[in-house]
């Protein structure tokens, strides 16, 4: 299947693995890229040395295009992005920050840059600085989706930009891929679907919890990590999102989290002081790390909280990455042929 995204990125299938902390590891990234899609490494929990090692590990596992995700608001993200540029990673995906310098750096060696956006304003700004494509995140998505559903947000943005659009939020199979293409997108990112693949390091307990829950079993709240985010509905997540964390507690928890993500506490505090308007957000975000790690790595949903999209209700098995990609393409092709036949009648 050829689209503007497959041609831009040099991939075979318009299917993307977004960068998900502790999930989008070198092994899963390479599996998606080897199967014809584009895997994007999550750099959030990594130090610059970790990032460099992860990039080189991906290159040991695949000779196909791959990417790296950087959340520029977070402490350590700039350093990780600089490593990605130095290593000439084929695709860089940035969010929550100004990425003009990333665009310039990547374009020097022929790399491509994808900007994650949740609004038309940010989409137009990203296009203006030279981003090559947009990852448009709808309300249905895991973690930090926008206020508007993909059914409206994707065509609204696609109609106003000239660069390719990757739709995410609500896509997990061939039906979603075909729908996204009809909305004006050129590809879909399927985070929750790939997170429950065989190659995914997501704990088996959490994978099983996804299979057991429906699209109704998620919570959308800003009380967990300071940003509006979608998480799996469990007794723990209900408690965590019932009300905002006390600021003092958030700072204490963020300091603990700094050790988990291998960031010096002074760097976390310095980052907060440099962005006083975002100090509360950074504290909440840091405080969320132990809960996310508990669910994702340890499979403990009594203590942890798991980011998950509403596509949770569309996921019914733990399949290999290759099977997921081939199944998605076949389903989209079959549906397209069926719909074409109906129109001809």
Q: Is residue 307 part of a domain?
A: no
Q: Are residues 166 and 210 in the same domain?
A: no
Q: Which pLDDT band, with edges at 50, 70 and 90, does 303 fall under?
A: very high
Q: Which pLDDT band, with edges at 50, 70 and 90, does 290 fall under?
A: confident
Q: Is residue 34 part of a domain?
A: yes
Q: Which pLDDT band, with edges at 50, 70 and 90, does 245 fall under?
A: low
Predicted confidence (pLDDT) per residue in 193-215, tens digit: 999 999 999 999 999 999 999 99
Q: Are residues 31 and 158 in the same domain?
A: yes
Q: Are residues 197 and 209 in the same domain?
A: no
Q: Are 184 and 154 in contact (CB under 8 A)?
A: yes
Q: Are residues 288 and 328 in the same domain?
A: no
Q: Are residues 11 and 51 in the same domain?
A: yes
Q: Is residue 310 part of a domain?
A: no
Strands (E), the chain: 15-17, 38-42, 66-71, 91-95, 112-117, 133-137, 165-168, 187-189, 218-221, 229-232
CATH number of the domain within which 330 lies? 3.20.20.70
Q: Is residue 129 part of a domain?
A: yes
- Output b/e per residue, 260-275; b: 16+ Cβ within 10 A: ebebeeeebbebbeee
Q: Are residues 53 and 175 in the same domain?
A: yes
Overall domain count for the chain: 2
Q: Are residues 157 and 277 in the same domain?
A: no
Q: Are residues 178 and 284 in the same domain?
A: no
The residue range of the domain holding 119 is: 4-201+320-344
Q: Is residue 22 part of a domain?
A: yes
Q: Are 67 and 106 in contact (CB under 8 A)?
A: no
Q: How many CB atoms lie within 10 A of CB 345?
A: 4
Q: Which pLDDT band, with edges at 50, 70 and 90, does 260 fall under?
A: very low
The rounded percent of the chain whose pLDDT value lies above 90 is: 76
Q: Are residues 285 and 186 in the same domain?
A: no
Provide mean pLDDT across the span 79-84.
97
The rounded percent of the chain whose pLDDT value lies above 70 is: 87
Q: Are residues 283 and 137 in the same domain?
A: no
pLDDT above 50: residue 276: no
Q: Is residue 9 part of a domain?
A: yes
Q: Are 3 and 10 in contact (CB under 8 A)?
A: no
Q: Are residues 43 and 125 in the same domain?
A: yes
Q: Are residues 221 and 92 in the same domain?
A: no
Which structure tokens are listed for 46?
A: 């990594």
Q: Is residue 306 part of a domain?
A: no
Q: Is residue 308 part of a domain?
A: no
Q: Are 16 and 172 in contact (CB under 8 A)?
A: no
């Amino acid at each position: 299947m050829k689209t503007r995204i497959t041609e831009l990125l040099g991939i075979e299938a318009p299917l993307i693995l977004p960068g998900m902390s502790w999930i989008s590891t070198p092994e899963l990234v390479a599996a998606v890229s080897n199967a014809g899609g584009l895997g994007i490494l999550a750099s959030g929990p990594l130090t610059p040395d970790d990032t460099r090692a992860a990039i080189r590990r991906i290159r040991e596992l695949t000779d196909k295009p791959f990417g790296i995700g950087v959340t520029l608001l977070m402490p350590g993200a700039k350093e990780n992005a600089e490593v990605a540029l130095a290593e000439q990673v084929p695709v860089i995906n940035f969010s929550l920050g100004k990425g003009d310098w990333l665009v310039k750096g990547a374009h020097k060696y022929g790399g491509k840059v994808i900007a994650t956006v949740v609004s038309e304003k940010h989409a137009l700004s990203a296009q203006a600085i030279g981003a090559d494509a947009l990852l448009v995140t709808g309300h249905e998505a895991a973690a930090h989706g926008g206020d508007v559903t993909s059914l409206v947000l994707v065509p609204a943005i696609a109609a106003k930009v000239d660069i390719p659009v990757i739709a995410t939020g609500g896509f997990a199979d061939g039906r979603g891929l075909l729908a996204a293409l009809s909305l004006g997108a050129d590809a879909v990112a399927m985070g929750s679907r790939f997170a429950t693949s065989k190659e995914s390091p997501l704990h088996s307990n959490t994978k099983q919890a996804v299979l057991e829950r429906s699209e109704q079993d998620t919570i959308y709240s800003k009380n967990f990590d300071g940003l509006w985010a979608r998480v799996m509905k469990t007794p723990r997540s209900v408690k965590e999102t019932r009300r905002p964390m006390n600021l003092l507690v958030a700072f204490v928890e963020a300091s603990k989290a700094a050790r988990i993500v291998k960031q010096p506490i002074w760097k976390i505090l310095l980052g907060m002081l440099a962005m006083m308007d975002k100090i509360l957000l950074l504290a909440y975000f840091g405080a969320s790390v132990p809960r996310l790690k508990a669910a994702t790595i340890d499979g403990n949903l009594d203590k942890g909280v798991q980011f998950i999209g509403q596509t949770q209700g569309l996921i019914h098995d733990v399949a290999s990455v290759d099977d997921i990609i081939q199944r998605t393409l076949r389903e989209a092709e079959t549906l397209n042929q069926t719909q074409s036949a109906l129109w001809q009648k």
